[in-house]
Structure 1
Amino acid sequence: MSTDWKRFILPSALCAGAATLGALGTKVDTAWYSNLKKPAWQPPGQVFGPAWTTLYSLTAFASGRVLNRLPNKRDRRAYLEELGANMAVNVAWSWLFFSARRPDASLLTSAVLEASTLRLLTKAAKVDRVSAAALAPYAAWVGFATVLNAEILRLNPSGR
Structure 2
Amino acid sequence: MELLKINGELDKKKLAISILVPIIAGSVTGWLANRNAQKKYKKLKQPSFAPPAPVFPIVWTSLYAIMGLAKYRAVQKVEQEDSDSPTIPFYDLQLGLNFLWSFLFFRWGLRGTALIEMTILLGAIAMTAYEFQKKDTTAGALMIPYISWVTFALGLNYSVWKLNK
User: What's the TM-score, normalizing by structure 1?
Assistant: 0.87
Q: How big is the shift at 1:9?
A: 5.1
8 Å CA contact retained: 2:70, 2:143: yes
Alignment CA distance shift 1:116-1:58 (3 Å)? same
Q: Report the Cα distance in structure 1 between the residues aligned to 2:82 and 2:30, rounded to whole angstroms.
A: 31
Identity of aligned residues (%): 25
Letter in structure 1 aligned against 2:140: A
8 Å CA contact retained: 1:117, 1:139: yes
Which stretches in structure 1 are left out of the alignment for 5+ residues?
none
Question: Equivalent residues in 2 for 1:8-157 (5 A)?
Answer: 8=15, 10-15=17-22, 16-27=24-35, 29-30=38-39, 32-70=40-78, 71-72=81-82, 74-75=84-85, 78-157=86-165
Which stretches in structure 2 are left out of the alignment for 5+ residues?
1-6
After superposition, give the CA deviation of every residue in 1:52-89 in whole Å (9 maximum; x if it has no partner). 000000000111001111233532xx322221211111
Alignment CA distance shift 1:109-1:84 (3 Å)? same
CA RMSD, 1 decimal: 1.8
8 Å CA contact retained: 2:20, 2:65: no
Alignment CA distance shift 1:34-1:118 (3 Å)? same
Q: How big is the shift at 1:12?
A: 3.0
Letter in structure 2 aligned against 1:135: M
Letter in structure 2 aligned against 1:86: Q
Letter in structure 1 aligned against 2:38: D
Q: Report the Cα distance in structure 2 between the residues aligned to 1:154 and 1:93, rounded to whole angstroms.
A: 17
After superposition, give the CA deviation of every residue in 1:78-110 in whole Å (9 maximum; x if it has no partner). 322221211111111000101001101110111
User: What's the TM-score, normalizing by structure 2?
Assistant: 0.84
Q: How big is the shift at 1:26?
A: 2.2
User: Which range moves more in the overlay, 56-65 or 125-134?
Assistant: 125-134
